[in-house]
A = this chain, B = another copy of it.
């Protein structure tokens, strides 16, 4: 696996690959890899002739009171896991190379980043779409893969790609879960042993909303109430939001006549967790 730190060197690598006739799949990450990342990478392997990944804990998508400084890092371990896939090239820049002095340009998808995490993490999605636009211009992929776990991020990036005419395909990949249902996340590493069990209540709440939907409920509020009831009965879980919105646009739905996503953000101790479930989707 080649490791490249310089944006311009990465561009040259990708230009050479493209000129050879290779196609490039790309999985951007913030590192501290888990099975969810590896699933994205294995899917990427199937969809292109070369596989690129990136490892960059992007400071501009963290709020001032968020966990940028303590975000878990394990560069050597991540590289070892990438080699098992295998990843062909890893782009791992320093922050100064990504944001040299004077940087001041932002990419923002407006409507799709309202509500859900957008309301609770001001500036977060602007940081995400900006860094992903940069990474797309640096890695030049034909296809890029994102997990459905970060649902609003996925939809914002899809929107940006359409709106700015990025010539690449976004492939969403289903959330990978632990055996007991907990959605995999690098932030699960923050959970103390006694919090690990409480964290399951997010998945249980989503299952309750799903049962409610299958029982015939077609008002978003009914799903939200079913999910909230589970979360509120779990001690030590503080709800940030529970919403049920249009799965494509993330806009409010008066009645569920199209796919709906039930999305949760909640704190277990000091750890913020998110999870979601799409209902009414044919695929």
Contacts of A35 in B (CB 8 A): none
Whether B105 contacts A159 by the Cβ 8 Å rule is yes
Whether A105 contacts B134 by the Cβ 8 Å rule is no
Interface residues in A143-174 by Cβ distance below 8 A to B read 159-160, 162-167
Chain B residue at smallest Cβ distance from A156: B105
Give the total of A residues in contact with B, Cβ under 8 Å.
34
Stretch of A108-116, A221-229, A231-239 contacting B (4+ beta carbons < 8 Å): A108-116
Whether B105 contacts A129 by the Cβ 8 Å rule is yes
A10-37 to B contact mask, C-beta < 8 Å, 1/0 = 0100010011010000000000000000
Quick one: which of B110, B140, B167 contacts A105, CB cutoff 8 A?
A: B110
- A5 vs chain B, min Cβ distance (A): 14
Chain B residue at smallest Cβ distance from A21: B19
- A187 vs chain B, min Cβ distance (A): 27
Contacts of A104 in B (CB 8 A): 109-112, 159, 163
Q: Does A255 contact B (CB under 8 A)?
A: no
Contacts of A19 in B (CB 8 A): 18-19, 21
Q: Does A7 contact B (CB under 8 A)?
A: yes
Nearest 7 CB-CB pairings of A with B: A105-B163, A137-B165, A105-B109, A104-B110, A104-B111, A11-B167, A134-B165
Given contacts A103-B163, A134-B165, list 11 more A-B pairs with CB under 8 A: A18-B18, A102-B159, A103-B162, A104-B111, A104-B163, A105-B110, A105-B129, A106-B107, A137-B164, A137-B166, A138-B167
Q: Can you give 13 A-B contacts (C-beta < 8 A)?
A: A11-B165, A19-B19, A102-B159, A104-B109, A104-B110, A104-B111, A104-B112, A104-B159, A105-B107, A134-B163, A137-B164, A137-B167, A138-B165
